[in-house]
Amino acid sequence: MMTGITGTPGTGKTSIAAELEHRGYPVVRLADTVRPYIIEEDCSRQTLVVDVDRWVEEFEAVDGLVEGHLAHLLPCDRVVVLRCRPDILRQRLAPRNYPEGKVAENVEAEALDVILIETLEEHPEDHVFEIDTTDLSVGECADRIEQVIRGELPPSCGSIDWTDYLEPGR
Ligand SMILES: Nc1ncnc2c1ncn2[C@@H]1O[C@H](COP(=O)(O)OP(=O)(O)O)[C@@H](O)[C@H]1O
């Protein structure tokens, strides 16, 4: 079973996947597989432009977890979409020293459900598990994903509405 863990940057993919790896689950990180597919580096946005189609095409399926903001584009058996309330996401991104434009872009993407919408374009609703990390610890989020893996948590998506957190002026 391949389980994708996706979400806007700052929602907690890396931290939660590290916790799950610590608990014994095999984890593949987007960051470790994407290098050969980088087309260019957009320095102004501190962003790597990746040949996503080729990355998806050549990705070897794993029996375990795939973590990264493109994981939902893979043919996963189920996808966990991590969410974080936009004002808290902004706080989580602050230590990264991203340019303000990049922070605002991510906060807006989270408020507009961009990753969830992309996920639902690729996967049926009953394969999708949205987890709001805002008020949970990393360990509690890992617990939820373990429940997903064990089939103890029903699929869920679409109950989050963060349009009130859209930042003015954008
Ligand atoms: N419930 C939570 N789940 C995941 N990360 C959390 C949580 N609460 C706070 N954080 C913090 O938010 C940040 C998330 O960063 P990271 O794991 O790198 O996210 P991503 O890989 O999605 O960019 C970390 O500093 C982490 O400690």
- pLDDT tens column, 40-49: 988 877 788 9
Residue 163 Cβ inside 6 Å of ligand 1? The answer reads: no
128 close to 78: Cβ distance less than 8 angstroms: yes
Q: Which atom of ligand 1 is nearest to the CA of 95?
A: 25
Between CA 52 and CA 49 the distance in angstroms is 9
Tens place of pLDDT per residue across the chain (170 aa): 999 999 999 999 999 999 999 999 999 999 999 999 999 988 877 788 999 999 999 999 999 999 999 999 999 999 999 999 999 999 999 999 999 999 999 999 999 999 999 999 999 999 999 999 999 999 999 999 999 999 999 999 999 999 999 987 65
Could you tell me if residue 137 is inside a domain?
yes
As given in the structure block, the two tokens for residue 167 are 């930042």
Q: Which atom of ligand 1 is nearest to the CA of 15?
A: 17
Between CA 93 and CA 102 the distance in angstroms is 10
Given the cut 0.95, state whether the ipTM is greater than it.
yes
pLDDT of residue 169: 65
Could you tell me if residue 167 is inside a domain?
no
Could you tell me if residue 170 is inside a domain?
no
Range of the domain at 74: 2-157
pTM of the model: 0.96
The enclosing domain of 53 has a CATH number of: 3.40.50.300
Between CA 17 and CA 79 the distance in angstroms is 13
Distance 137 CA to ligand 1 centre (A): 9
Could you tell me if residue 168 is inside a domain?
no
Task: Say if residue 96 carries a ligand binding annotation.
Answer: yes
Q: Report the domain count for the chain.
A: 1
